[in-house]
Structure 1
Amino acid sequence: MKTPLILRSLLTAAVIAALPVSLANAQDRFANVEVKATAIKGAVHMLTGAGGNIGVSAGDDGVLIIDDQFAPLAEKIAEQLGELGSDKPKFVINTHYHGDHTGSNAFFHSHKGATILAHENVRIRLASDEKVAPEALPTITYEDGIKIYFNGETLHVIHLAVGHTDGDSAVLFEQPNVLHTGDLFFNGRFPYIDQGAGGNVEGYMESVQQLLNRIDDDTVIIPGHGALSNKAEYANFLGMISETFNYVKALKEEGKSLDDVKAMGLEEKWASWSWNFINEEKWITTLYNDA
């Protein structure tokens, strides 16, 4: 039976009316978020807000940023960058493709003239998402990494083959000795490993170890999520992953099902690592899938 014209009109009107509400809700989620800057060393700063931590190089050459959080925060981020020297970053480096690290790409490219750099797989994954505007795509990509000389410092942009995704990069500021890990470090939390986008637990551990091998006890670490950190805490993070992975792997090899392992849980000492996005059950699932 055909839907009466008047009913179709009412349904269409209801859908259209709901769209601004959905957009408004998305904006409201970030309405009270405050973007704050923290000076670290040399030209390097960190911005916090919602989503991945933003690394900043600000000096005589201008401003460069590492990641740019969610799209609704773009203007707040730009305002803070203006306080550091310029609201028009010359470069944006994406550590991977997730929206809490790339959401403001289009804004900074289209409205501020930034050049976006990332691993080739980041461009591929963003381009395959019909919700991502062409303006948000990296215009310079690399395979193994790239060096950038900016504000009197050398930035080593390092691609890690397998980890959080298949397109992860970390950025090491050589002279001030600061490392931005992207989501290869969730400080004090179980990490999210995107197994549907080329990430896996063993690759993640190998990538973290590669980064640990490149830093020393004086290195300041900007994690993808969480507070500023150091090599000792990063090594502790790797130890947590290794221990919990081996624990779950042994149970799986004994024939325990995923539900069995979830019911058993992890050792109590790991309870504080659970958080709203990756709680203990989700972390066990991640470990079990790769064990």
Structure 2
Amino acid sequence: MKSEHMLSRRGFCLCCMGVASFAATAGWMSPREAYAEARGLVSLIKDSAAKSVIATHKLRNDITILEGSGGNVAVLGGKDGLVMVDAGISVARLQMTEALSALSPEPVTHLINTHWHFDHADGNAWLGAVGAKIIAHENTRKYLSQVQRVEDWDYNFVPLERSGVPKHVFSKENSLKLNGQSLAMKYYGPAHTDGDISVMFGEANVIHVGDTYWNGIYPFIDYSTGGSIDGMIGASDANLAASTDKTIIIPGHGNPVSNRAELQEFRDMLVAIRENVAALKRQGRSRDEAVAAKPTAAFDAKWGNFVIDPDFFTRLVYAGV
């Protein structure tokens, strides 16, 4: 059915719960509304991921995007083994293993997490267990090592198995040279969470920016773990500064092959809506009054057609201005 196809193909983390409820409600639901409708939605998402089809997008310099198990996964092949950026959801291990084997017979030797969220790091455990060196920001390790609540999802995440917790962490920057690529990892500061990093494949001019960029849809901002609307804008500015018109930009969600012009449009959307919501808040409008004023209206036709709907995105922005 259409809703299952959209869920498995785009894997929009636990916010996908609105998709899971689409057929029953004939409309989009915010995450909190969906949680009011059903229990065990993490299991629903895992069930969908377990049946997902992994789509392969070959880029250049032996870099490939695997789409379909949570966030967009980048894979770099070569004699040093496979290098992954993000791990997807663990129940899709079979499909991910098949997709990786189709790329190369080499094992996964390195895994870099762009941040801690379930749809990007749940696969850490099995990849770590088969020998992948897991690298992340220090805050990502913290959240994966403890019970972590996300208020907007009304959910408590348990710690990952020890094999999935990153053992190699950094605070600001890190670099590797693997498979002929200079990999530069940079911390943004608080953005989607307070543990987000970018990963630049230098010679290929390809950058994975994680969930600081959702291509063509309103993004989620996780205030429970340090997210910030201003930080999201700042991360977009940093990614624009790090890219050129020839750079391939990999977003955390949405169409996985993007570019600087599309990222600029995303950044400009964030800035405009932030200003609209901030103006309403300065006028003394309550959150519900700000939502009713429809500060996202000029952007909804393009950006508001998936799980983070205009009202929910307005509430997220309101919380941060």
- Say yes or no: TM over 0.5: yes
Query: Following TM superposition, by how much is the alpha carbon of 1:235 offset from its aligned partner in structure 2, in angstroms?
Result: 0.7
Mapped contact 2:296–2:314 kept (Cα < 8 A): no
Letter aligned with residue 131 of structure 2: G
The answer as to 2:229 corresponding to 1:201 is: yes
Sequence identity (%) = 31
Query: Following TM superposition, by how much is the alpha carbon of 1:50 offset from its aligned partner in structure 2, in angstroms?
Result: 3.0
Q: Distance in 2 between matches of 1:25 and 1:198?
A: 26
The answer as to 2:284 corresponding to 1:266 is: no
Query: Following TM superposition, by how much is the alpha carbon of 1:268 offset from its aligned partner in structure 2, in angstroms?
Result: 3.3
Q: Provide the residue aligned with 1:224 in structure 2.
A: 252
Mapped contact 1:164–1:204 kept (Cα < 8 A): yes
Choose between structure 1 and 2 for higher RCO, CA contacts under 8 A separated by at least 6 residues: 2
Q: Distance in 2 between matches of 1:100 and 1:25?
A: 13
Between 32-41 and 213-222, the greater mean CA deviation after superposition: 32-41
Mapped contact 1:88–1:108 kept (Cα < 8 A): no
Alignment partner of 1:279 out of 288, 291, 309: 309
Change (3 A) 1:66 1:253: same
Larger Rg: 1
Letter aligned with residue 74 of structure 2: G
Q: Distance in 2 between matches of 1:269 and 1:25?
A: 33
Q: Distance in 2 between matches of 1:66 and 1:27?
A: 20
Change (3 A) 1:25 1:171: closer
Alignment partner of 1:123 out of 141, 150, 153: 141
Figure out how many residues of one structure are paired with residues of the other and give that number.
270
Letter aligned with residue 251 of structure 1: L
Letter aligned with residue 124 of structure 1: K
Alignment partner of 1:169 out of 191, 197, 222: 197
Mapped contact 1:108–1:114 kept (Cα < 8 A): yes
Alignment partner of 2:184 out of 156, 162, 167: 156
Q: Provide the residue aligned with 1:46 in structure 2.
A: 65
Q: Distance in 2 between matches of 1:131 and 1:230?
A: 35
Q: Provide the residue aligned with 1:10 in structure 2.
A: none
Deviation track 1:269-290 (CA, whole Å, cap 9, x = no partner) reads 3113114431111110111111
The answer as to 2:82 corresponding to 1:63 is: yes
Mapped contact 2:49–2:70 kept (Cα < 8 A): no
Q: Distance in 2 between matches of 1:23 and 1:181?
A: 25
Query: Following TM superposition, by how much is the alpha carbon of 1:23 offset from its aligned partner in structure 2, in angstroms?
Result: 10
Q: Distance in 1 between matches of 2:186 and 2:229?
A: 19
Q: Distance in 2 between matches of 1:197 and 1:39?
A: 33
Where 1:155 maps in the other structure, the secondary structure is strand
Change (3 A) 1:131 1:138: closer
Mapped contact 2:49–2:68 kept (Cα < 8 A): no
Q: Distance in 1 between matches of 2:106 and 2:86?
A: 15
Q: Provide the residue aligned with 1:249 in structure 2.
A: 278
Where 2:215 maps in the other structure, the secondary structure is coil
Change (3 A) 1:259 1:213: same
Q: Could you list the runs of 5+ residues in structure 2 that have no partner in the other structure? A: 1-39, 148-157
Q: Distance in 2 between matches of 1:160 and 1:32?
A: 34
Mapped contact 1:78–1:87 kept (Cα < 8 A): no
Q: Distance in 2 between matches of 1:73 and 1:127?
A: 22
The answer as to 2:62 corresponding to 1:33 is: no
Moved over 6 A (4+): 21-24
Deviation track 1:129-165 (CA, whole Å, cap 9, x = no partner) reads 2342111100100111211111111111111111011
Query: Following TM superposition, by how much is the alpha carbon of 1:27 offset from its aligned partner in structure 2, in angstroms?
Result: 5.3
Q: Distance in 2 between matches of 1:274 and 1:44?
A: 30
Normalising to structure 1: TM-score of the pair?
A: 0.88
Query: Following TM superposition, by how much is the alpha carbon of 1:255 offset from its aligned partner in structure 2, in angstroms?
Result: 1.3
Q: Distance in 2 between matches of 1:82 and 1:37?
A: 12
Where 2:108 maps in the other structure, the secondary structure is coil
TM-align CA RMSD: 1.8
The answer as to 2:233 corresponding to 1:215 is: no
Mapped contact 2:81–2:106 kept (Cα < 8 A): no
Letter aligned with residue 83 of structure 1: A
